[in-house]
Structure 1
Amino acid sequence: MDDEFGAAYAGSLARDHVLGALGNRTVVQALADGEAPRAVWEALCTDMDVPPERRLGRDTRVARGAQGGQGGRLGG
């Protein structure tokens, strides 16, 4: 949530935004009730119009072979 909405707004959304798709519960309530985190995230993304390409968060991994990534050779 922090990646998409920023830390302060993500916290507010989790506590205050009621999701009809989750039985009119907030993110915090749904998770406390045992809903799967993925289902909660998908419901929030749908409600907040987060495009599908941004629903997995930022990819901060470095590709293999790229500068700073894993080398292509074994052993160093």
Structure 2
Amino acid sequence: MRLTVFWQRMVDHFGPAYADSFARDHVMTQLGGRTVHEALDAGWDAKDVWRVVCDTMGVPPERR
């Protein structure tokens, strides 16, 4: 998954104002205690990060 697709899905789900805030501030154990930004900066694949966000935040299957 390209980063542009990842960020568009984040905006689609969380809204333009909250997507980046969530990505900066929400620490997830499934990301090794990292935020979305930290996981991506550490080399995690965007698709894997999106799966963790979906699992953690209960994103409906049709939006995954």
Band the TM-score falls in, shorter-chain normalisation: 0.7 to 0.9
In the alignment, the residues of structure 1 paired with residue 19 and residue 30 of structure 2 have an alpha-carbon distance, to the nearest angstrom, of 18
Unaligned runs of 5+ in 2: 1-9
- State TM-score, norm by structure 2: 0.82
- After TM superposition, which residue ranges in structure 1, 4 or more long, deviate above 3 angstroms? none
Number of aligned positions between the proteins: 55
Q: Relative to total residues, which structure has the larger helix share, 1 or 2?
A: 2
Any gaps of 5 or more consecutive residues in structure 1?
A: 56-76
Percentage identity across aligned positions?
56
> Relative contact order: is structure 1 or structure 2 higher (C-alpha 8 Å, sep ≥ 6)?
2
Which one has the largest radius of gyration?
1
